[in-house]
Structure 1
Amino acid sequence: PVRPLWAAAATAPPAGAEWVWKATNDVLNDLYAVLRFEVQRGPLSRSPSAVSHANQVYPKLMPFLRWWKQQPDRPPLYYATLDVKGAFDSIPHQKLLEVIRPLLREEDGYLKCPYSRWCGKTGKARTVYGVVTKERFGDVEAVRERGRRLGHGRGSFAVFMDLVEYRLLSRTQLLALLTRHICSHV
């Protein structure tokens, strides 16, 4: 049997409303936010061929493929992905833990900060999460700057929501969460 990736309410939404889809694996949202933060600040994010979303694959990888095909003695080409949400069914669980453990570099923890992101095209707000490291917890300006950077893009801006509950996430807590989740789905 294959686990469903998304779940929805059994009844139809009220008139004028839309379906709200929620990931079945939403218990991993904290881990996902921290891993995105680590990937974005790591060296891989600065690679000209690195992508973090399906819409970026074609425009970013096609120039790289053209360049690679022109090389006279080219090494084999491999594509690698790290998709925590879909990885449980495709790779050995122990290997997944070995890969993720070194990615969580902050021993002391992370602070997960919610922001509201407004999309001008749809006229709807969406909550997104910024993550900062523990040494920057007291630096309110760093948290606000992260909120401003989250809002940059076409037709959108970020609204910093203060007086909200921030989540302090330790490396140990995140690894235990992933281990529990893997063990419960074996």
Structure 2
Amino acid sequence: MDKRVVMLMNRLMAALALVFFISSKACAHKDVILPINEHGVISGIPPALGPGQLEMEFSWFQLPTPVSKLVLHLGGKPLVFPKCLTRLLNTDALSKVEVSGSWFHDEAVLPYYLNIHFQDGTYDPYVSTFIGYSTLINLRTNTLLRMTEYSLQKGHKGDQQRDVDLESQCSPEELANFSYQPES
């Protein structure tokens, strides 16, 4: 092969490697654990996107689903979860809610988000994998992007997850004033 062709190929390969490296760094993101206090105040959200607070009420008379009210306040915008979704949550205390988020990535590829994990009341981190529900929330618009259920497979042979189909779980009336992004 001609030396010029080899040099051109080497430069092309180096340029492609550089493009791959830069694009992988641009798409990379990491979740940050966000503390939530006993009043539901979520710390660590950037001021331009926050403040954040999770308002939960529990009704012990409606067992086995103790969550009677769930409202996420982000940047002054409330996201009120309808009963058709709160009745799925078997979380019996605010201390069993974990929040993480990410805003260190290209927002054009993936919106800045909060991920809220609602642990099942029977969940034991020393015995099993995560059991409960998680919600993925657009941090800028306070819109539900996805709700996922985590459960054990039959025979306790591992865990499984499935996205909750909001439109089959809830009536159109229940979703009328709820800010969510329908699956496309």
Q: Smaller-chain TM-score range?
A: under 0.3
- Higher normalized helix content (fraction of residues): 1
TM-score in terms of structure 1 length:
0.26
- Higher normalized strand content (fraction of residues): 2
Which of the pair has more CA radius of gyration?
2
